[in-house]
Amino acid sequence: MANINAMRQYEEQVINTATPGMVTVMLFEEVIKNINLGMKAIDDNNIQDSHNAIVKAENIYLALNGWLDAKYEISKPLSRLYEFLASRLVEANSKKDKKILQEVLVFSTEFRDTWRQAEKNARIEQMNGKVRQN
């Protein structure tokens, strides 16, 4: 029990100290994990577990969409993509369709990789700025 509490505290600390880009990467990793769990549950004919995993992935896309800042030009097309992917997850869930889940998985992996690279680039820029100041 102590190990579980320590792990929860660690996870909370990571999330509370992470940059917005890092949190976004973590959210896409969670989407990917849940899509994979959903596909495995479909293979195992475990309808409830597949439903739960797919709904978690869908909810993350809905949350990501809600967090978009409309002042940025990229927000509108991202919003449409997030809404589309959430709707594909609903369809995949209702049909228990692994092909649709695989489609969303590809997009989710590309989003995660893009955000990971953007976060890395931001850290490099930040470090370069500190070096120039010294």
- 3 within some domain: no
- DSSP, collapsed to helix, strand or coil, labels residue 71 as coil
- Amino acid (one-letter) located at 54: I
**Is there a domain that residue 48 lies in?**
yes
Return the SS3 of 87.
Answer: helix
CATH for 54:
1.20.120.340
Per-residue confidence (pLDDT) for residue 34, from 0 to 100: 98
pLDDT at 32: 98
pTM given for the model = 0.85
Domain for residue 15, yes or no? no
> Could you report the per-residue pLDDT of 96-133, keeping only the tens digit for each?
999 999 999 999 999 999 999 999 998 888 888 765 66
For residue 78, what pLDDT is reported? 95
Query: Residue 28 is part of which domain span?
Result: 20-133
Helix spans in the chain (H): 2-17, 20-43, 47-67, 75-95, 98-133
**How many domains would you assign to the chain?**
1
Q: What is the pLDDT of residues 58-106, one digit of tens each?
A: 999 999 999 999 999 999 999 999 999 999 999 999 999 999 999 999 9
